[in-house]
A and B are shown apart, each in its own frame.
Chain A
Amino acid sequence: MSNIIDLTLVDLVEKIKKKVLSSKEITKAYIERADKSKKLNTYITEDFKNALKKADNFDNSPDFDKKLPGIPIAVKDLFCTKNLKTTAGSKILENFIPTYESTVTDNIWNEGGILLGKLNCDEFAMGSSNETSFFGNVQSPVGEKLVPGGSSGGSASALAAKLTPATIGTDTGGSIRQPASFTGIVGLKPTYGSCSRYGIVAFASSLDQAGPMTQDVKDCALLFSIISSYDNKDSTSIDYKREDYLKKLNKSIKGKKIGIPKEYRVDGMSKEIEDLWQKGINIAKEAGAEIVDVSLPNTNYALPTYYIVAPAEASSNLARYDGVKYGFRSKGKNLIDMYEKTRSEGFGNEVKRRIMIGTYVLSSGYYDAYYLKAQKVRRLIKNDFDDVYKKVDAILTPSTPSSAFKIGEKTNDPVSMYLNDIFTVPINLAGLPAISIPAGHDQKGYPLGLQIIGKAFDEQNILNIAYFLEEEINFKNKINDWWI
Chain B
Amino acid sequence: MSKKQSDYTIKRNQNEYEVVIGLEVHAQILSDSKLFSSSPTKFGAEPNTQVSLVDAAFPGMLPVINEFCIKQAVKTGVGLKAKINKRSIFDRKNYFYADLPQGYQISQYKDPIVGEGSVILDLTSGEKTIGIERLHLEQDAGKSIHDIDPKNTLVDLNRSGVALMEIVSKPDLRSPDEVNAYIKKLRSIMRYLGTCDGNMQEGSLRADVNVSVRKKGEKKFGTRCEIKNVNSIKFMQMAIEYEANRQVDAIEEGESIDQETRLFDIKKNETRSMRSKEDAHDYRYFPDPDLLPLEISDDFINDIKKNIPELPDEKKKRFIEKFNLSAYEANILVSDIETSKYFEEVIKNSDVKLSTNWITGELFALLNDKNLEISKSPISAKNLSKLINLIKDGTISGKIAKSVFEIMSIEDKNPADIVKEKGLKQQSDPKELEKLIDKVINDNPDKVKEYKSGKEKLFGFFVGLAMKVSGGKANPQLINDILKNKLK
Contact = CB atoms under 8 A, between A and B. Distances in A.
A–B contact with Cβ pairs below 8 Å: the answer is: yes
Given A319-B102, A359-B284, A362-B286, A235 B60 contact: no
Contacts of B62: 197-198, 233-235
B361 interface: no
Interface string B38-70: 000000000000000100111111111100000
Interface in A369-392: 371
A367 B57 contact: no
Contacts of B282: 363-364
The B interface, classified by DSSP as helix, strand, loop or mixed, is loop
The A interface, classified by DSSP as helix, strand, loop or mixed, is loop
B295 to A, nearest CB: 13
Contacts of B303: none
A324 B155 CA distance: 9
Given A205-B289, A324-B155, A316 B94 contact: yes
B238 to A, nearest CB: 29
Contacts of B312: none
A202 B286 contact: no
Contact of A202 (B59, B104, B291): B59
B101 A325 contact: yes
Contacts of B292: 235-236
B59 A201 contact: yes
A204 B286 CA distance: 13
B403 to A, nearest CB: 63
B10 to A, nearest CB: 34
The size bracket of the interface on B is 20 to 34
Interface string B270-286: 00000000000010111
A235 B153 CA distance: 34
B65 A235 contact: yes
B59 A324 contact: no
Interface in A300-337: 312-313, 315-316, 318-320, 322, 324-326, 335-336
Nearest to A102: B60
A335 B98 CA distance: 8
A99 B104 CA distance: 23
Contacts of A233: 62, 64
Contacts of A364: 282, 284
Given A316-B92, A325-B101, A86 B290 contact: no
Interface residues of A, number: 43
A359 B103 CA distance: 13
A93 B101 CA distance: 16
Contacts of B92: 316
A312 B286 CA distance: 9
Contacts of B57: 320, 325
B96 A319 contact: yes
A168 interface: no
Contacts of A322: 96, 103
Nearest to A205: B289
Interface string A72-115: 00000000100000101000010010111010000000000000
Contacts of B58: 80, 98, 100, 325-326
Given A320-B57, A324-B101, 7 more contacts: A80-B58, A200-B60, A236-B292, A316-B103, A316-B286, A359-B284, A367-B285
Interface of B: 53, 56-65, 92, 94, 96, 98, 101-104, 153, 155, 282, 284-286, 288-292
Interface of A: 80, 86, 88, 93, 96, 98-100, 102, 197-202, 204-206, 232-236, 312-313, 315-316, 318-320, 322, 324-326, 335-336, 339, 359, 362-364, 367, 371
